[in-house]
Structure 1
Amino acid sequence: MDKLSRRGLLTGAGAVVAAGTFGLPTATARNLSPTALPTTKRFKMSATTNEFFRSQPLHDATVMQSFAFDTPNNRLFAAQVRGGSVSNGGDLTLTRLDFAGNELGYMYLTGFGHAVSIGAEASGSTTYIWTETDVDTTNGRGRQICRFPWQSGKTLTTASVTKWKPVSNGTIFTPATDQRFGRLGVRYALADGMHINVYSLAAARAGDFSTVLASFKQPALTPGIDFQGWTLYGSYAYFWEGEAYPGEPDETKANSKLWCYDINAGEIVDSFLTLAGKSLTYREAEGMAVYGSTDATARLYFGFASGVTGARRANLFYRNTLV
Structure 2
Amino acid sequence: MDNISRRGLLTGVGALLAAGSLGVSTASARSLALPASKRFKMSATTNEFFRHKPLWGPRVMQSFAFDTPNNRLFAGQLRSETPENSGDLTLSQLDFSGNVLGHMYLTGFGHAVSIGAEAVGSTSYIWTETDADTTNGRGRQITRFPWQNGKTLTSASVTKWKPVSGASVYTPAVDQRFGRLGVRHARSDGMYINVYSLAAARTGDFSTVLASFKQPALTAGIDFQGWALYGSYCYFWEGEAYPGEPDETKATSKLWCYDINAGVLVDSFLTLAGKSLTYREPEGMAVYGSTDGTARLYFGFASGEPGDRRANLFYRNTLV
Q: Which category describes the TM-score, using the shorter chain as reference length? A: over 0.9
SS of residue paired to 2:7: helix
Give 1:291 deviation, angstroms: 0.1
Task: For 2:247, give the aligned amino acid.
Answer: D
Any stretches of 5+ residues in structure 1 without a counterpart?
14-27
Superposed, which structure 2 residues align to 1:276-287 within 5 Å?
276-287=273-284
Superposed, which structure 2 residues align to 1:8-157 within 5 Å?
9=12, 11-12=15-16, 29-30=27-28, 32-33=30-31, 35-157=32-154
SS of residue paired to 2:6: helix
Aligned-residue sequence identity (percent) comes to 79
Say how many residue pairs are matched.
309
Number of the residue aligned with 1:22: none
SS of residue paired to 2:85: coil
Alpha-carbon deviations, 1:217-274, whole Å to 9, x = none?
Answer: 0000000000000010000000000010033443333210000000000010000000
Please tell me whether residue 305 in structure 1 is matched to residue 302 in structure 2: yes
Please tell me whether residue 292 in structure 1 is matched to residue 283 in structure 2: no
Number of the residue aligned with 1:19: none
TM-score by length of 2: 0.94
Task: Report the Cα distance in structure 1 between the residues aligned to 2:295 and 2:307, rounded to whole angstroms.
Answer: 34
Task: Report the Cα distance in structure 2 between the residues aligned to 1:203 and 1:5, rounded to whole angstroms.
Answer: 32
Q: How big is the alpha-carbon RMSD for the aligned residues of Structure 1 and Structure 2? A: 1.6
Alpha-carbon deviations, 1:185-207, whole Å to 9, x = none?
Answer: 00000111100000000000000
Please tell me whether residue 172 in structure 1 is matched to residue 169 in structure 2: yes
SS of residue paired to 2:303: strand
Give 1:168 deviation, angstroms: 0.8
Give 1:159 deviation, angstroms: 1.1
Task: Report the Cα distance in structure 2 between the residues aligned to 1:200 and 1:193, rounded to whole angstroms.
Answer: 23
Please tell me whether residue 183 in structure 1 is matched to residue 180 in structure 2: yes
Please tell me whether residue 205 in structure 1 is matched to residue 202 in structure 2: yes
Number of the residue aligned with 1:4: 6
Number of the residue aligned with 1:274: 271
Task: For 1:142, give the aligned amino acid.
Answer: G
Number of the residue aligned with 2:241: 244
Alpha-carbon deviations, 1:80-132, whole Å to 9, x = none?
Answer: 00012113000000000000000000000000000000000000000000000
* Among 223, 242, 264, the residue aligned to 2:261: 264
SS of residue paired to 2:174: strand
Task: Report the Cα distance in structure 2 between the residues aligned to 1:248 and 1:199, rounded to whole angstroms.
Answer: 41
Task: Report the Cα distance in structure 2 between the residues aligned to 1:96 and 1:246, rounded to whole angstroms.
Answer: 28
Task: Report the Cα distance in structure 2 between the residues aligned to 1:94 and 1:251, rounded to whole angstroms.
Answer: 32
Please tell me whether residue 159 in structure 1 is matched to residue 159 in structure 2: no
Task: Report the Cα distance in structure 2 between the residues aligned to 1:212 and 1:145, rounded to whole angstroms.
Answer: 16
Task: Report the Cα distance in structure 2 between the residues aligned to 1:223 and 1:6, rounded to whole angstroms.
Answer: 11
CA contact (8 A) 1:250 1:279 kept: no
Give 1:12 deviation, angstroms: 4.1
CA contact (8 A) 2:87 2:107 kept: yes
Relative distance call for 1:5 and 1:133 in structure 2 (3 A) is same
Give 1:160 deviation, angstroms: 1.0
Give 1:140 deviation, angstroms: 0.5
Task: For 2:125, give the aligned amino acid.
Answer: Y
Task: Report the Cα distance in structure 1 between the residues aligned to 2:16 and 2:129, rounded to whole angstroms.
Answer: 24
TM-score by length of 1: 0.93
CA contact (8 A) 2:243 2:278 kept: no
Please tell me whether residue 229 in structure 1 is matched to residue 226 in structure 2: yes
Task: Report the Cα distance in structure 2 between the residues aligned to 1:252 and 1:64, rounded to whole angstroms.
Answer: 25
Task: Report the Cα distance in structure 1 between the residues aligned to 2:64 and 2:239, rounded to whole angstroms.
Answer: 16
